[in-house]
Structure 1
């Protein structure tokens, strides 16, 4: 008699993103590119879009409680760390790659806005809202999907990363 040691195959990060998309009601197609889409510029060329339409999914760690935070930033922008700290309520550090992998299930370069192993607060760059469609990583350095920014906000419960008007 064998025990309960059946090994269930580990789901790939892309499969996890696909499953999360279905659970959120997203009608997306994950596209595997022939080349890496690790940088926003590479992704824009591969997707045939503007760099600003690329969603950079950047993981930071809060100073106050070490919780991870996901910032969805337009490909042509850098994170305004002072603005982010003001909106979020804590200074931020770029999260360590091992912690990102352990807690989210994604490796840097393939971090998706959806399908994380852990819950975290999500903030979105308002510049992404200027586009009808944006492109995000789908769990691997060469996998992407397109989605409307409004659907992305709804599915991730993202808050706008902007200062007081």
Structure 2
């Protein structure tokens, strides 16, 4: 069965996905036993972590940031637009998807530590199954959902996109 014929409920069941606070569904698939110490803080954490992440039913990954680099990988479905606001306020959009069938897409995209980012399926009626690898490893204590009003005020040129991809509850 082609990946596009798989029902999103089947993906959720098959991969044991749960709702994620930023939107979509996820499951952690890997947490390194190796530990690293974050420079300047002395905090010990896993060297790397990985998740499956599913966007479907028009859901998006709301603006957020973490204190580690995050590498996104494409697995199945429609392309995903990953919007990234860097420390200088520059907006970049990575189209994550099947680079063999979508020449404007890449199989992998990096979001640098500390950059604000949000993601949405390029086709709202589709779904996208992707993976995210974080190094040093992801910790919810370093996960920050954006205050979209403050983010839009800081980056007025991108106000509409920021508002469109805010948290589902409008926070």
Task: State TM-score, norm by structure 2.
Answer: 0.24
Looking at secondary structure, tell me which structure has more helix per residue. Answer: 1
